[in-house]
Amino acid sequence: MEKNAKIYVAGHRGLVGGALLRALQQQGYTNIITRTHQELDLTRQSEVEAFFQSEKPEYVFLSAAKVGGILANATYPADFIYQNLAIAMNVIHAAYLHGVKKLLFLGSSCIYPKLCPQPIKEEYLLTSSLEPTNEAYAIAKIAGLEMARFYRKQYGVDFISAMPTNLYGPGDNFHLAHSHVIPALLRKFYEAVREQKAEVVVWGTGKPRREFLYIDDLADALIFLMNHYSDESHINVGVGEDVEIRELVEMIREISGFSGKVVYDTSKPDGTPRKLLDVSRLTSLGWKPKTSLREGLEKTYAWLVEHYDAIVAREER
């Protein structure tokens, strides 16, 4: 990408899009286009096509999506499948119609089969059944990946897809009912310290293993891929190492300074037992993450502490 190329970041107010915006600006890209949901509803085909017709972006990072944790996915499956299918369909098709030079579509490692061999290689997608707790989201995201691949195959467009592992970092969603594991745990421990609680309750057994990538590292990887990767296969983006949830909990306990008891609520679901990506394809291209899990957790916890009052106020509105 030329530094003055017209780049559209779809979903710039989300965790991924916000980090992408920061990284692009830091790397000297000067012609970045964004639209809020109020300005452009990506689930509306007519709005999306009008936007591409008028703006004609050269590069597109498709990071817009409806996302959430186990509870949100289980509660709103129709919303997850409809909104994510619509976003993928509308943006990918409009990018083809209006001559976008390159598009990068974002998948997610949670759309791999539930019981994948570990570590997960790119070719394991669609080889067995999905995790039931996020099936609707997964089906929509898989459709987006395949759509990018088929448009590449039929029309010769340079559309690629990346499959990030579990993400976290400043700007994450810290809502206890709708967030992922790291922001939920960070908030629980912060509130326990703040309110001098005797215990913190953690969902599940604590035995599943997860891989976590700091959000600014993902943004760096996506810009790297836009500049250096062109293939019909999606490509995994992660750190290549995982951690048991109990280890994660202890790390967050230490960072927060919580001295009370941790209780595991085993009536709650664990989700997939293990989810570790094989990132050898990405590392062979010359990219590696810069941020350790401990460092990333400390930065994210500090961000939560600084913005906690604003987060609570927003939820109460």
- Residue 109 annotated as part of some ligand binding site: yes
Q: What separation in angstroms does the CA of 256 have from each of 20, 185, 245, 252?
A: 28, 10, 16, 6
What SS3 class is residue 53?
helix
On whether the CB atoms of residues 173 and 179 are closer than 8 A, the answer is yes
- Residue 54 annotated as part of some ligand binding site: no
- Residue 107 annotated as part of some ligand binding site: yes
- Residue 203 annotated as part of some ligand binding site: yes
DSSP element (H, E) containing 296:
helix 293-316
- Residue 269 annotated as part of some ligand binding site: no
- Residue 104 annotated as part of some ligand binding site: no
Taking each helix axis from N to C end, the angle separating 293-316 and 181-194, rounded to the nearest 10 degrees, works out to: 70
What SS3 class is residue 13?
coil
> What is the distance between the alpha carbons of residues 312 and 84, in angstroms, rounded to a whole number?
27
- Residue 71 annotated as part of some ligand binding site: no
- Residue 204 annotated as part of some ligand binding site: no
> What is the distance between the alpha carbons of residues 257 and 242, in angstroms, rounded to a whole number?
24
- Mark whether 82 is an active-site residue: no
Annotated catalytic residue, options 137, 214, 229, 301: 137
- Residue 13 annotated as part of some ligand binding site: yes
> What is the distance between the alpha carbons of residues 72 and 84, in angstroms, rounded to a whole number?
14
- Residue 144 annotated as part of some ligand binding site: no
- Residue 31 annotated as part of some ligand binding site: no
Neighbouring CB atoms inside 10 A of 170's CB total: 20
- Residue 141 annotated as part of some ligand binding site: yes
What is the signed CA dihedral for 207, 211, 213, 218, rounded to 10 degrees?
A: -140
> What is the distance between the alpha carbons of residues 312 and 187, in angstroms, rounded to a whole number?
11
- Residue 4 annotated as part of some ligand binding site: no
Just list the catalytic residues.
137
List residues forming the annotated binding site.
Answer: 11-17, 106-109, 141, 164-167, 180, 188, 203, 210, 270
List residues forming the annotated binding site for NADP(+).
Answer: 11-17, 106-109, 141, 164-167, 180
